[in-house]
Structure 1
Protein backbone atom coordinates (compact mmCIF):
# COMPACT_ATOMS: atom_id res chain seq x y z
CA UNK A 1 0.00 0.00 0.00
CA UNK A 2 1.30 3.46 -0.92
CA UNK A 3 1.50 6.00 1.88
CA UNK A 4 1.40 9.80 1.96
CA UNK A 5 2.69 11.79 4.92
CA UNK A 6 0.94 15.16 4.75
CA UNK A 7 2.45 17.86 7.00
CA UNK A 8 0.84 21.30 7.37
CA UNK A 9 2.68 24.03 9.26
CA UNK A 10 0.50 27.13 8.97
CA UNK A 11 -0.38 29.03 12.14
CA UNK A 12 -3.89 29.19 10.70
CA UNK A 13 -4.09 25.40 10.54
CA UNK A 14 -6.34 24.21 7.71
CA UNK A 15 -7.32 27.77 6.80
CA UNK A 16 -3.82 28.73 5.68
CA UNK A 17 -3.11 29.06 1.97
CA UNK A 18 -0.29 26.51 2.05
CA UNK A 19 -2.56 24.07 3.92
CA UNK A 20 -5.36 24.59 1.41
CA UNK A 21 -3.02 23.97 -1.53
CA UNK A 22 -1.48 20.89 0.10
CA UNK A 23 -4.91 19.54 0.98
CA UNK A 24 -6.12 20.08 -2.58
CA UNK A 25 -3.10 18.24 -3.97
CA UNK A 26 -3.59 15.28 -1.63
CA UNK A 27 -7.35 15.14 -2.33
CA UNK A 28 -6.75 15.06 -6.06
CA UNK A 29 -4.15 12.32 -5.68
CA UNK A 30 -6.74 10.28 -3.76
CA UNK A 31 -9.33 10.88 -6.47
CA UNK A 32 -6.93 9.46 -9.04
CA UNK A 33 -5.77 6.59 -6.84
CA UNK A 34 -7.89 5.80 -3.74
CA UNK A 35 -5.35 3.21 -2.60
CA UNK A 36 -3.11 5.91 -1.13
CA UNK A 37 -3.12 5.84 2.67
CA UNK A 38 -2.71 9.28 4.25
CA UNK A 39 -1.21 10.28 7.59
CA UNK A 40 -1.91 13.96 8.25
CA UNK A 41 -0.14 16.13 10.82
CA UNK A 42 -1.35 19.69 11.34
CA UNK A 43 1.50 21.33 13.24
CA UNK A 44 -0.46 24.56 13.65
CA UNK A 45 -3.21 22.73 15.53
CA UNK A 46 -0.99 20.15 17.25
CA UNK A 47 2.54 21.58 17.44
CA UNK A 48 5.56 19.48 18.27
CA UNK A 49 7.51 20.80 21.24
CA UNK A 50 10.72 22.52 20.24
CA UNK A 51 13.87 20.56 20.83
CA UNK A 52 15.58 21.46 24.09
CA UNK A 53 18.14 19.85 26.37
CA UNK A 54 15.50 17.76 28.15
CA UNK A 55 14.07 16.34 24.94
CA UNK A 56 17.46 15.76 23.31
CA UNK A 57 18.76 13.99 26.41
CA UNK A 58 15.67 11.77 26.50
CA UNK A 59 16.09 10.76 22.87
CA UNK A 60 19.80 10.06 23.24
CA UNK A 61 19.53 8.10 26.51
CA UNK A 62 19.61 4.31 25.95
CA UNK A 63 16.10 2.86 26.09
CA UNK A 64 16.78 0.74 29.18
CA UNK A 65 18.01 3.78 31.11
CA UNK A 66 15.16 6.17 30.35
CA UNK A 67 12.85 7.55 33.00
CA UNK A 68 9.09 7.45 32.45
CA UNK A 69 9.16 11.05 31.20
CA UNK A 70 12.05 10.28 28.87
CA UNK A 71 10.23 7.25 27.46
CA UNK A 72 7.23 9.41 26.61
CA UNK A 73 9.40 11.97 24.84
CA UNK A 74 11.37 9.32 22.95
CA UNK A 75 8.19 7.54 21.87
CA UNK A 76 6.85 10.79 20.41
CA UNK A 77 10.03 11.25 18.38
CA UNK A 78 10.03 7.60 17.33
CA UNK A 79 6.47 7.96 16.06
CA UNK A 80 7.44 10.95 13.91
CA UNK A 81 10.35 9.02 12.44
CA UNK A 82 8.25 5.94 11.78
CA UNK A 83 5.70 8.04 9.88
CA UNK A 84 8.43 9.31 7.56
CA UNK A 85 10.02 5.89 7.16
CA UNK A 86 6.70 4.36 6.12
CA UNK A 87 5.78 7.13 3.66
CA UNK A 88 6.35 6.94 -0.09
CA UNK A 89 5.41 10.59 -0.62
CA UNK A 90 5.79 13.61 1.67
CA UNK A 91 3.48 16.58 1.07
CA UNK A 92 4.52 19.69 2.99
CA UNK A 93 2.37 22.81 3.30
CA UNK A 94 4.85 25.60 4.13
CA UNK A 95 4.02 29.30 4.62
CA UNK A 96 6.82 31.85 4.90
CA UNK A 97 7.19 33.63 8.23
CA UNK A 98 9.90 36.31 8.47
CA UNK A 99 11.73 34.82 5.46
CA UNK A 100 11.91 31.35 7.05
CA UNK A 101 9.94 28.16 7.52
CA UNK A 102 7.57 28.02 10.52
CA UNK A 103 9.34 27.10 13.75
CA UNK A 104 6.99 24.13 14.23
CA UNK A 105 8.24 22.65 10.95
CA UNK A 106 11.85 23.21 12.04
CA UNK A 107 10.97 21.33 15.24
CA UNK A 108 9.59 18.45 13.17
CA UNK A 109 12.86 18.22 11.25
CA UNK A 110 14.82 18.42 14.51
CA UNK A 111 12.94 15.39 15.82
CA UNK A 112 13.22 13.21 12.70
CA UNK A 113 16.90 13.90 11.94
CA UNK A 114 18.56 11.18 14.03
CA UNK A 115 22.03 9.79 13.41
CA UNK A 116 21.99 6.07 12.72
CA UNK A 117 18.25 6.10 11.98
CA UNK A 118 17.40 8.66 9.28
CA UNK A 119 21.00 9.47 8.33
CA UNK A 120 24.45 8.17 9.14
CA UNK A 121 27.96 9.53 9.16
CA UNK A 122 30.66 7.99 6.96
CA UNK A 123 34.28 8.81 6.19
CA UNK A 124 33.03 10.60 3.06
CA UNK A 125 30.34 12.57 4.90
CA UNK A 126 26.72 12.05 5.90
CA UNK A 127 24.39 9.68 4.03
CA UNK A 128 20.61 9.96 4.15
CA UNK A 129 18.73 6.77 5.00
CA UNK A 130 15.25 7.80 3.78
CA UNK A 131 15.88 6.94 0.15
CA UNK A 132 13.29 6.05 -2.46
CA UNK A 133 10.80 8.74 -1.40
CA UNK A 134 9.41 11.83 -3.11
CA UNK A 135 8.46 15.17 -1.58
CA UNK A 136 6.17 17.93 -2.80
CA UNK A 137 6.36 21.32 -1.07
CA UNK A 138 3.42 23.73 -1.37
CA UNK A 139 4.88 27.10 -0.37
CA UNK A 140 2.90 30.30 0.24
CA UNK A 141 4.44 33.77 0.55
CA UNK A 142 2.98 37.24 1.07
CA UNK A 143 5.66 38.84 -1.10
CA UNK A 144 7.82 37.89 -4.05
CA UNK A 145 10.88 35.92 -2.92
CA UNK A 146 11.62 33.14 -5.40
CA UNK A 147 15.18 33.49 -6.67
CA UNK A 148 15.91 36.30 -4.22
CA UNK A 149 18.18 36.33 -1.14
CA UNK A 150 15.03 36.53 1.00
CA UNK A 151 14.02 33.01 -0.04
CA UNK A 152 15.75 30.97 2.63
CA UNK A 153 13.05 28.31 2.49
CA UNK A 154 13.79 26.61 -0.80
CA UNK A 155 17.48 25.91 -0.18
CA UNK A 156 16.87 24.90 3.43
CA UNK A 157 14.10 22.43 2.60
CA UNK A 158 15.97 20.95 -0.36
CA UNK A 159 19.11 20.63 1.76
CA UNK A 160 17.33 19.15 4.78
CA UNK A 161 15.32 16.65 2.76
CA UNK A 162 18.41 15.71 0.76
CA UNK A 163 20.38 15.27 3.97
CA UNK A 164 17.81 12.64 4.97
CA UNK A 165 18.03 10.93 1.58
CA UNK A 166 15.02 12.52 -0.15
CA UNK A 167 16.40 14.07 -3.33
CA UNK A 168 13.26 13.97 -5.49
CA UNK A 169 11.63 17.23 -4.37
CA UNK A 170 9.12 19.39 -6.25
CA UNK A 171 8.16 22.92 -5.20
CA UNK A 172 4.87 24.70 -5.92
CA UNK A 173 4.79 28.41 -5.06
CA UNK A 174 1.98 30.85 -4.36
CA UNK A 175 3.75 34.22 -4.12
CA UNK A 176 2.56 37.82 -3.78
CA UNK A 177 -0.49 36.91 -1.73
CA UNK A 178 -0.41 40.20 0.20
CA UNK A 179 0.18 42.46 -2.82
CA UNK A 180 -3.47 43.11 -3.61
CA UNK A 181 -6.47 41.13 -4.82
CA UNK A 182 -5.26 40.76 -8.40
CA UNK A 183 -1.83 39.54 -7.32
CA UNK A 184 -3.43 37.09 -4.89
CA UNK A 185 -5.74 35.65 -7.56
CA UNK A 186 -2.84 35.35 -9.98
CA UNK A 187 -0.67 33.62 -7.35
CA UNK A 188 -3.35 31.07 -6.52
CA UNK A 189 -4.09 30.42 -10.19
CA UNK A 190 -0.39 29.91 -10.88
CA UNK A 191 -0.05 27.47 -7.97
CA UNK A 192 -3.06 25.50 -9.16
CA UNK A 193 -1.55 25.31 -12.65
CA UNK A 194 1.66 23.92 -11.14
CA UNK A 195 -0.37 21.36 -9.20
CA UNK A 196 -2.12 20.33 -12.43
CA UNK A 197 1.26 19.86 -14.09
CA UNK A 198 2.46 17.67 -11.22
CA UNK A 199 -0.65 15.53 -11.40
CA UNK A 200 -0.31 15.18 -15.16
CA UNK A 201 3.34 14.10 -14.99
Structure 2
Protein backbone atom coordinates (compact mmCIF):
# COMPACT_ATOMS: atom_id res chain seq x y z
CA UNK A 1 0.00 0.00 0.00
CA UNK A 2 1.47 3.34 -1.09
CA UNK A 3 1.64 6.27 1.29
CA UNK A 4 1.11 9.67 -0.35
CA UNK A 5 2.10 12.98 1.21
CA UNK A 6 0.08 15.76 -0.43
CA UNK A 7 1.59 19.20 0.20
CA UNK A 8 -0.70 22.16 -0.53
CA UNK A 9 0.53 25.74 -0.54
CA UNK A 10 -2.14 27.87 -2.20
CA UNK A 11 -3.82 30.35 0.18
CA UNK A 12 -6.95 30.08 -1.94
CA UNK A 13 -9.45 27.29 -1.29
CA UNK A 14 -12.41 26.47 -3.56
CA UNK A 15 -11.14 28.80 -6.29
CA UNK A 16 -7.61 27.38 -6.26
CA UNK A 17 -6.61 25.74 -9.54
CA UNK A 18 -3.44 24.31 -8.00
CA UNK A 19 -5.48 22.52 -5.33
CA UNK A 20 -7.69 21.01 -8.02
CA UNK A 21 -4.71 19.93 -10.10
CA UNK A 22 -2.94 18.45 -7.08
CA UNK A 23 -6.06 16.52 -6.10
CA UNK A 24 -6.34 15.19 -9.65
CA UNK A 25 -2.76 13.91 -9.43
CA UNK A 26 -3.52 12.16 -6.14
CA UNK A 27 -6.59 10.53 -7.68
CA UNK A 28 -4.56 9.31 -10.66
CA UNK A 29 -1.98 7.80 -8.29
CA UNK A 30 -4.76 6.01 -6.42
CA UNK A 31 -6.11 4.65 -9.72
CA UNK A 32 -2.64 3.35 -10.57
CA UNK A 33 -1.72 1.84 -7.23
CA UNK A 34 -5.06 0.91 -5.70
CA UNK A 35 -5.52 1.54 -2.01
CA UNK A 36 -3.35 4.37 -0.75
CA UNK A 37 -2.96 6.22 2.52
CA UNK A 38 -3.04 9.96 1.88
CA UNK A 39 -1.65 12.49 4.36
CA UNK A 40 -2.39 16.13 3.60
CA UNK A 41 -0.21 18.98 4.85
CA UNK A 42 -2.02 22.20 4.02
CA UNK A 43 0.47 25.02 4.44
CA UNK A 44 -2.23 27.66 4.12
CA UNK A 45 -4.29 26.27 7.00
CA UNK A 46 -1.27 25.61 9.21
CA UNK A 47 1.55 27.87 7.98
CA UNK A 48 5.09 26.87 8.88
CA UNK A 49 6.99 29.49 10.87
CA UNK A 50 9.63 31.33 8.89
CA UNK A 51 13.09 30.49 10.17
CA UNK A 52 14.70 32.82 12.67
CA UNK A 53 17.87 32.59 14.74
CA UNK A 54 16.24 30.43 17.40
CA UNK A 55 15.36 27.76 14.83
CA UNK A 56 18.86 27.74 13.35
CA UNK A 57 20.50 27.47 16.78
CA UNK A 58 18.15 24.64 17.73
CA UNK A 59 18.87 22.71 14.53
CA UNK A 60 22.62 22.86 15.11
CA UNK A 61 22.55 22.07 18.84
CA UNK A 62 23.31 18.37 19.46
CA UNK A 63 20.09 16.51 20.28
CA UNK A 64 21.26 15.57 23.78
CA UNK A 65 21.96 19.23 24.62
CA UNK A 66 18.72 20.80 23.40
CA UNK A 67 16.68 22.71 25.94
CA UNK A 68 12.91 22.42 26.25
CA UNK A 69 12.61 25.68 24.33
CA UNK A 70 14.82 24.38 21.53
CA UNK A 71 12.81 21.17 21.31
CA UNK A 72 9.72 23.30 20.92
CA UNK A 73 11.49 25.34 18.23
CA UNK A 74 12.10 22.26 16.07
CA UNK A 75 8.78 20.51 16.69
CA UNK A 76 7.31 21.67 13.36
CA UNK A 77 10.44 20.53 11.53
CA UNK A 78 10.53 17.15 13.29
CA UNK A 79 6.83 16.48 12.59
CA UNK A 80 7.15 17.49 8.93
CA UNK A 81 10.23 15.31 8.43
CA UNK A 82 8.52 12.36 10.12
CA UNK A 83 5.69 12.62 7.58
CA UNK A 84 8.17 12.94 4.77
CA UNK A 85 10.20 9.89 5.79
CA UNK A 86 7.03 7.82 6.07
CA UNK A 87 5.79 8.70 2.56
CA UNK A 88 6.42 6.77 -0.65
CA UNK A 89 5.08 9.45 -3.00
CA UNK A 90 5.05 13.24 -2.67
CA UNK A 91 2.60 15.49 -4.47
CA UNK A 92 3.76 19.09 -4.16
CA UNK A 93 1.55 21.83 -5.52
CA UNK A 94 2.16 25.53 -5.81
CA UNK A 95 0.73 28.42 -7.74
CA UNK A 96 3.28 30.78 -9.25
CA UNK A 97 3.39 34.02 -7.29
CA UNK A 98 5.61 36.73 -8.73
CA UNK A 99 7.54 34.17 -10.77
CA UNK A 100 8.24 31.94 -7.74
CA UNK A 101 6.64 29.63 -5.19
CA UNK A 102 4.52 30.70 -2.24
CA UNK A 103 6.42 31.85 0.85
CA UNK A 104 4.78 29.06 2.87
CA UNK A 105 6.22 26.40 0.56
CA UNK A 106 9.68 27.96 0.83
CA UNK A 107 9.34 28.01 4.63
CA UNK A 108 8.25 24.35 4.61
CA UNK A 109 11.27 23.41 2.51
CA UNK A 110 13.50 25.27 4.97
CA UNK A 111 12.13 23.15 7.82
CA UNK A 112 12.66 19.81 6.07
CA UNK A 113 16.21 20.63 4.99
CA UNK A 114 18.18 19.07 7.86
CA UNK A 115 21.75 17.90 7.56
CA UNK A 116 22.17 14.25 8.45
CA UNK A 117 18.43 13.63 8.06
CA UNK A 118 17.33 14.68 4.59
CA UNK A 119 20.76 15.41 3.10
CA UNK A 120 24.45 15.13 3.87
CA UNK A 121 27.56 16.99 2.80
CA UNK A 122 29.95 14.96 0.68
CA UNK A 123 33.07 16.93 1.56
CA UNK A 124 33.95 17.07 -2.11
CA UNK A 125 32.84 20.62 -2.77
CA UNK A 126 29.84 19.45 -4.77
CA UNK A 127 26.12 19.58 -4.11
CA UNK A 128 24.98 17.76 -0.97
CA UNK A 129 23.70 14.21 -1.33
CA UNK A 130 20.02 13.56 -0.74
CA UNK A 131 19.13 10.96 1.86
CA UNK A 132 15.49 10.37 0.88
CA UNK A 133 15.74 7.27 -1.25
CA UNK A 134 13.05 5.31 -3.10
CA UNK A 135 10.54 8.17 -3.09
CA UNK A 136 8.69 9.56 -6.11
CA UNK A 137 7.64 13.16 -6.45
CA UNK A 138 5.00 14.88 -8.58
CA UNK A 139 4.75 18.63 -9.00
CA UNK A 140 1.58 20.60 -9.76
CA UNK A 141 2.12 24.21 -10.70
CA UNK A 142 -0.27 26.85 -12.00
CA UNK A 143 0.18 30.29 -13.51
CA UNK A 144 -1.57 33.10 -15.29
CA UNK A 145 0.92 33.12 -18.16
CA UNK A 146 2.57 30.36 -20.15
CA UNK A 147 5.99 29.65 -18.69
CA UNK A 148 6.83 26.17 -19.97
CA UNK A 149 7.96 27.62 -23.28
CA UNK A 150 8.31 30.88 -25.15
CA UNK A 151 9.31 34.35 -24.01
CA UNK A 152 8.33 33.85 -20.35
CA UNK A 153 10.22 30.60 -19.80
CA UNK A 154 13.25 32.31 -18.26
CA UNK A 155 10.97 33.93 -15.67
CA UNK A 156 9.81 30.60 -14.26
CA UNK A 157 11.52 30.25 -10.88
CA UNK A 158 8.77 28.02 -9.48
CA UNK A 159 8.93 24.65 -11.25
CA UNK A 160 12.75 24.56 -11.59
CA UNK A 161 13.12 25.44 -7.90
CA UNK A 162 10.72 22.76 -6.65
CA UNK A 163 12.22 20.15 -8.99
CA UNK A 164 15.78 21.03 -7.95
CA UNK A 165 14.93 21.01 -4.27
CA UNK A 166 13.22 17.62 -4.35
CA UNK A 167 16.07 16.17 -6.38
CA UNK A 168 18.59 17.59 -3.94
CA UNK A 169 17.05 15.74 -0.97
CA UNK A 170 16.90 12.53 -2.97
CA UNK A 171 13.34 12.45 -4.32
CA UNK A 172 12.89 11.14 -7.88
CA UNK A 173 10.69 13.69 -9.68
CA UNK A 174 8.48 11.48 -11.83
CA UNK A 175 6.20 14.14 -13.31
CA UNK A 176 5.49 17.86 -13.56
CA UNK A 177 2.00 18.99 -14.55
CA UNK A 178 0.97 22.55 -15.30
CA UNK A 179 -2.30 24.40 -15.46
CA UNK A 180 -0.81 27.46 -17.11
CA UNK A 181 -2.05 30.34 -19.20
CA UNK A 182 -5.07 31.01 -17.02
CA UNK A 183 -5.01 34.69 -18.00
CA UNK A 184 -4.84 33.67 -21.65
CA UNK A 185 -7.26 30.75 -22.05
CA UNK A 186 -9.11 30.91 -18.73
CA UNK A 187 -8.78 28.87 -15.51
CA UNK A 188 -11.10 26.05 -16.58
CA UNK A 189 -9.30 25.41 -19.88
CA UNK A 190 -5.90 25.63 -18.17
CA UNK A 191 -7.00 23.12 -15.53
CA UNK A 192 -8.40 20.80 -18.20
CA UNK A 193 -5.06 20.89 -20.02
CA UNK A 194 -3.17 20.21 -16.81
CA UNK A 195 -5.39 17.31 -15.82
CA UNK A 196 -5.15 15.87 -19.31
CA UNK A 197 -1.36 15.81 -19.10
CA UNK A 198 -1.21 13.72 -15.92
CA UNK A 199 0.70 10.47 -16.34
CA UNK A 200 1.73 8.38 -13.34
CA UNK A 201 4.96 6.40 -13.40
CA UNK A 202 5.06 2.74 -12.44
Alignment TM-score, normalising by the size of structure 2? 0.89
Q: Does 1:158 align with 2:163?
A: yes
Matched with 1:189 is 192
Q: Which residue of 1 aligns with 2:6?
A: 6
Q: Distance in 2 between matches of 1:68 and 1:32?
A: 44
Aligned to 1:25: 25
- Provide the secondary structure at the position in 2 that maps to 1:49: coil
RMSD, matched Cα: 1.9
CA distance in 2 between counterparts of 1:169 and 1:30 reads 15
Instruction: Specify the alignment match of 1:173 in structure 2.
Output: 178
Distance 1:14 1:164 in 2: 31
| Cα separation, partners in 2 of 1:99 and 1:2, compared to 1, 3 Å | same
Give the Cα separation in 2 of the matches to 1:155 and 1:74: 28
Could you tell me which residue of structure 1 aligns to residue 68 of structure 2? 68
Contact 2:96 2:143 in 1 (8 A): yes
Q: Which secondary structure does the structure 2 equivalent of 1:149 belong to?
A: helix
Which runs of no fewer than 5 residues in structure 2 stay unpaired?
A: none
Change (3 A) 1:146 1:46: same
Q: Is contact 2:163-2:173 (8 Å) kept?
A: no
Q: Distance in 1 between matches of 2:196 and 2:134?
A: 26
Runs of 4+ that moved beyond 6 A: none
Unaligned runs of at least 5 residues, structure 1: none
